[in-house]
Structure 1
C-alpha cells in the first residue's frame, strides 16, 4: 500500500539542521504514526511521504513555508510574569506556557524583568530549513474512528 489520503503511516525520522546537527531522532522509541492528509505533521513532511510505501528510506528538505513558518519579529511580546506557567523563577532560554484565546501556547523567555517578561512566541524552528531522514515502517488503511477523529490511534499515534 502506498501513502495516500486517509491512510495511517508509521515512520522513524531524524531531524537535522541545515548544518547537519541532529535536533530529534525517533529511532530509539516507537515510530510516529500519523493519519496522512489530515495535517498531523508539518506540510513538508506530509508532502514528502505521499506515494511512499513501507520499507522506503529517503531524505527531504523542508523550507520554512512548509515547516514552522518564517520567523516573525512581531512575535516578540512583553507579558506579565504572572501569566507564565511552568516555573516560579524565569531565566532567558526557558520555555513557558501561556494561555491565549487560541489555547495554551509555548513561548521562549528572552528577558526577565521584575513584573514583565519578554517572550518569543515563534516556534523554536520557525525560519529554519529542516532536513529529515525518514524510514517508512508501515502503511495501512485508516479505521473509520481514526478518520472521524482526525488522527491515528494506537502506538505512535493518539491514545484514547
Structure 2
C-alpha cells in the first residue's frame, strides 16, 4: 500500500538543521504516526512522502517556505517582566517557551532575550527560517479507520490515545 490521502503512515526519522545538529528523532521507542492529506505535517515533507510505501527510505531537504515559513521580525516584541506573573526567575531564561493566548488562539512564544525587566519574546515557530533535513524510514502504511478520518488524526500507539 502507498501513502495517499487518509492513509496512516508509521515513520522513524531523524531531522537535522543545516549545521547537522539533530533537532528531532522518531525511533523504535517513539515512532511517528500521521494521517496523510489532512494538514497534520509540514507541506514539504508530506509531499515527499506521497506515494511512499513501507520499507522506503526518503532523504529530503525542505526549504522554509514548505516547512515553518521564514522568520517574521514583527512576531518579536519587548514586554515587561511582570507579564509573566509569578514564573520563577530560574525558569525565565533565554530559550524558555510559554503558551500565550493571542488573537489567533494559543501560540507558543520563546524568550529570545532578557535585559533586566524587559523580556524579548519571539512568536515565530522555533524552526522558522530553517531548511530542514529529514532522513525518513516508512515502517507501515495502512488505511485510516472511519473514526480516524472523522477525527482527522491517527489513533493507537504513537497516535492519539483514548
Q: 1:85 to 1:53 in 2, by over 3 A?
A: farther
Name the counterpart of 1:152: 154
CA distance in 2, matches of 1:128, 1:91: 22
Name the counterpart of 1:30: 30
Q: 1:29 to 1:87 in 2, by over 3 A?
A: farther
Q: TM-score normalised to the size of structure 1?
A: 0.91
Name the counterpart of 1:112: 114
Q: TM-score normalised to the size of structure 2?
A: 0.90
Aligned residue for 1:52, secondary structure, equals: coil
Q: 1:114 to 1:70 in 2, by over 3 A?
A: same
* Alpha-carbon offset, residue 86 of structure 1: 9.3
Q: 1:36 to 1:98 in 2, by over 3 A?
A: same
Task: Please identify, of 74-83 and 54-63, the stretch whose mean Cα deviation from structure 2 is larger.
Answer: 74-83
Q: Does 1:93 align with 2:95?
A: yes
CA distance in 2, matches of 1:86, 1:59: 45
Alignment check: 8 A CA contact 1:31 1:137 kept: no
* Alpha-carbon offset, residue 30 of structure 1: 2.9
* Alpha-carbon offset, residue 35 of structure 1: 0.7
User: What do residues 20-68 of structure 1 show as CA deviations (whole Å, max 9, x unaligned)?
Assistant: 2211111152311111000111111111110100011120111101111
Name the counterpart of 2:46: 46
Structure 1: runs of 5+ lacking an equivalent: none
Aligned residues: 160
